[in-house]
A = this chain, B = another copy of it.
Amino acid sequence: MIADKILLDHGSGGKMSHQLIAELVLPAFDNGLLAPMHDGAVLAVDGRIAFTTDSYVVDPVFFPGGNIGDLAVYGTVNDLAMCGAQPICLSAGLIIEEGFAMADLRRILASMAAAAARAGTIIATGDTKVVPKGAADKIFINTAGIGKIPAHVTIGPDRARPGDQVILSGTMADHGVTILTQRQGLVFDAPVQSDTAPLNGLVEKILALCPDVQVLRDPTRGGVGTALNEIATASGTGIRIYEQRLPVRPEVAGLCELLGLDPLYVANEGKLLTFVQKAHSDAVLAAMRQDPLGASAVVIGEVTAEHPGKVTMQTRIGGSRIVDMLTGDQLPRIC
């Protein structure tokens, strides 16, 4: 019988580590690559790959719409997708605080496995460390991923060109506002929920329709405002967006006002920005809207030759202002 809480011995590398892997991890992640007792997964690859990593430290661990497990899987799947890649496999590195409930770990592992399946990938290799009570807060998860990039696809933030239409795949700020309201113990009649989701299917549709798309970005930490600034800086172009086109759910907008947050800087976990030549943007938009994860896709602006390196926003009342990169930490441990 496995204990009902994580003990230091579960991280020893000895018998209890093996029991934890054999009874919880292997059954959850069951797949041919996850060879027990070997130091890594072995696979055949041919062509260009993307390689990425992210650590997840979100607090709380469970939140409406997801938990740290599916967030960690989708986050890395999305980073691969933003390189134009379809995921081949992921790694999972767990750092668990002594005393963490085994039932919660089971739930998180099940979510990771389900999330990987939904994204069409597997968790091929992993590692578990246990630290004494107080040395970490509950659980942190690192995922790294390898993805295959189709021939002829080249994505980079430096590839924005004047005239490109800036498409956002859906509403802003859902994830960040969900985490913050949970953390502050705010409860509402119509609760908001994280948008955590795998974007590789949506990217596949976009690239199938329009193989010359060269800019993809998921606006996570720092939000849409920061992501657009990164692209403007990398490409040396200007980006102009329109405040009245920015999609925000009314309940999320209300909470942002209550909490003093600008939704432009609040994290998203299931949204993407893509830049498309004007000739193709209607078709891409229509294709994105066929996908549940792109149902609210909208053109929020365009790339300009003016104001290189800057993001400007035409406000609702007709003025224009600079949208800077996020300064100051709106939300620690948001992902």
Taking beta carbons and an 8 Å cutoff, which residues of A are in contact with B?
7-9, 11-18, 35, 37-57, 59, 78-80, 82-83, 85, 89, 91-95, 124-127, 129-132, 134-137, 140, 142, 144-147, 149, 156-157, 217-218, 220-223, 226, 230, 233-234, 265, 267, 324-333
User: Other CB < 8 Å A-B pairs besides A42-B49, A53-B126, 17 of them?
Assistant: A12-B330, A35-B156, A38-B157, A39-B82, A39-B218, A40-B145, A43-B48, A45-B46, A55-B129, A57-B129, A57-B136, A93-B142, A93-B144, A95-B95, A129-B333, A131-B137, A142-B144
Q: Do A79 and B37 form a contact, CB below 8 Å, given A12-B330, A132-B332?
A: no
A55 contacts which of B7, B142, B332 (Cβ < 8 Å)? B142
Bound-complex Cα distance A234 to B18 (A): 13
Query: Shortest Cβ distance from A31 into chain B, in angstroms?
Result: 13
Q: How far is A267 from B12 in the complex, measured between Cα atoms in Å?
A: 10
Question: In the assembled complex, which residues on chain B have CB atoms less than 8 Å from the CB atom of A18?
Answer: 325
**What residues of chain B lie closer than 8 Å to A135, measured between beta carbons?**
57, 59, 136-137, 333
Enumerate chain B residues within 8 angstroms of A145, measured Cβ to Cβ: 40
A325 contacts which chain B residues (CB < 8 A)? 14-15, 18
Taken together, the copies of this chain in the complex come to 2
Interface of A is mostly: mixed
A217 proximity list for chain B (CB < 8 A): 39
Query: How many angstroms between the C-alpha atoms of A46 and B324 in the bound complex?
Result: 42
Known contacts A46-B47, A146-B146; decide if A127 and B13 are in contact (CB<8 Å): no
List 26 A-B pairs, Cβ < 8 Å: A7-B329, A8-B332, A11-B332, A13-B223, A18-B325, A37-B233, A38-B83, A39-B78, A39-B82, A39-B217, A40-B51, A40-B82, A42-B149, A43-B51, A44-B47, A45-B45, A46-B46, A53-B91, A53-B126, A53-B127, A57-B129, A57-B136, A93-B144, A95-B95, A140-B140, A142-B144
